[in-house]
Amino acid sequence: MKVHKIVSFSMILLTCAPWCIFSEERLLVNMNLVGNASALGAYCLDGSLPAYHLHRGFGAGARNWLLQFEGGGWCNDIQSCLVRAKTRRGSTRYMNKLEVFSGILSNNASLNPDLVLKAEHLYCAYVKQTSLLYFRGQRIWKAIIHDLLPKGLGNAKKALLSGCSAGGLASFLHCDNFSSYLPRNASVKCLSDAGFFLDERDISLKHTFRSFYEDLVSLQGVEQNLDKNCTSSLYNPNQCFFPQYALPFIRTPFFILNSAYDVFQFHNILVPTSADIHGHWNRCKLNPAACTTIQINILQEFRNDMLSALRLFYMYSRRGGMFINSCFAHCQSESQDTWLAANSPRVHNKTISEAVGDWLRPKLQVKLKINAKLVNIEKYFFQESLKNKDDTKYLPAGTDNCLST
């Protein structure tokens, strides 16, 4: 799930002379263990104490908070959870003691001008206990929030809950709960980056990813923590783990950042290895320009299904925003080159950083609404990448500065 980092790193190597690679100062942030989390029974998969990385805001941002869930996938059975429990994704024993804050987490005003300068980096696993493993994500969430409230979160002016990938999904699932902890007069919003995992059949027409989530939800006892309005409205309540079903019930203003050709979803939802045992898709997966016409049509259908799943939100959400682009990427807010750089992806000529910035500052949005002649400036909705559906070889990369292809 961290492929984008490697990809963007190699881009830096390609576009930068060696002496400029590390010319920017990197913001390195220490890990804090939540010492008294055991009082709430909050443990990581392996029983270690949960932790987060905190960098304090300053100046005008002193009372603004950004909480970011890190990505890193999930485990869905005992075997995969046992493996995970021995990694930084399941145990703070292995978690990075120093974390780099960049992109949306950067504290450098020229690299992250619109964003609040107070950041959290959160990570850990999810709810319930077996003899060997702890599934206590909900308690970790509570313990960390309770730890942060007296540190200033409880007195916040503005707060943004965000996350990428699995963390982007967590942002959907915890958004309203987050909002409930903050003062009523605070401005609270949520953002998901690459977390809009689609309930879609794979190319062999199997519900591979739905089964994966079902296993995960039942193993980890997640159902009790899903939105009650959502679970009571669906025949299969576990489906509320998918953002497309949970979204209509989220009351807090939400921003959805996702690629319609999200590479993780392409490789794991649409074309998982189990659905392509002969490897017909291998070349296309490595390089979209090598895809056949049939494969591109299948990718187009996936994109259309994602846009359909977002349509009601696009049309009816009054305070929502979105940036749906067409890069073969996964997670675009955490690395500087996709967040804000000269050649970052753009939709309606806005970088992700600018689009999120506009959405965070409603007064500016009103101004722009008049000037920009968009239906609604809060919504950055990318429809241009494949204007002509028949022109199947016209690949999306390039039209909006996709760095990853």
Ligand X SMILES: *[C@@H]1O[C@H](CO)[C@@H](O)[C@H](O)[C@H]1NC(C)=O
Q: Which residues of 256-288 are buried (b: 16+ CB within 10 A; e: fewer)?
A: bbbbbbbbbbbbbbbbbeebbeeeebeebbeeb
Q: Rule CB under 6 A: which residues touch ligand X? A: 24-25, 36, 39-40, 108, 110-111, 138, 142, 146-147, 150, 157, 177, 180, 183, 185-186, 229, 249, 251, 349
* 121 belongs to the catalytic site: no
Closest listed residue to residue 134, CA positions, set 171, 81, 173: 81
* 330 belongs to the catalytic site: yes
Q: How far is the CB of 389 from ligand X (least distance, A)?
A: 24
Q: How far is the CB of 184 from ligand X (least distance, A)?
A: 8
Nearer to ligand X, 79 or 185 (CB): 185
Contact 64, 71 (CB under 8 A): no
What is the sign of the dihedral through the CA atoms of 304, 258, 403 and 350?
A: positive
Residue 42 φ/ψ region, left for φ over 0, alpha for ψ in the -120 to 50 degree band, beta for the rest: beta
Closest listed residue to residue 101, CA positions, set 82, 121, 85: 121
Q: Is 189 exposed, middle or buried (0-12, 13-18, 19+ CB in 10 A)?
A: buried
Nearer to ligand X, 40 or 54 (CB): 40
Q: How far is the CB of 57 from ligand X (least distance, A)?
A: 14
- Residue that is written with structure tokens 């241009």 in the block: 384
DSSP string over 154-184: GG-SEEEEEEBTHHHHHHHHHHHHHHHHS-T
Q: How far is the CB of 397 from ligand X (least distance, A)?
A: 19
Nearer to ligand X, 88 or 157 (CB): 157
3-state secondary structure of 146: helix
Query: Which amino acid, one-letter code, is at 326?
Result: S
Rounded distance between C-alpha atoms, residue 242 and residue 245, angstroms? 6
Phi, psi of 97 (to 5 degrees): -75, -25
Q: Which of 102, 162, 165, 353 is catalytic?
A: 165
Q: How far is the CB of 285 from ligand X (least distance, A)?
A: 32
Q: Which of 262, 276, 358, 400 is catalytic?
A: 262
Q: How far is the CB of 375 from ligand X (least distance, A)?
A: 18
Q: Which of 102, 330, 337, 353 is catalytic?
A: 330
Q: How far is the CB of 177 from ligand X (least distance, A)?
A: 4
Contact 157, 186 (CB under 8 A): yes
Nearer to ligand X, 256 or 291 (CB): 256
* 262 belongs to the catalytic site: yes
| Contacts (Cβ under 8 Å, ≥6 apart) of 212 | 76
Nearer to ligand X, 299 or 327 (CB): 327
Active-site positions read 165, 262, 330
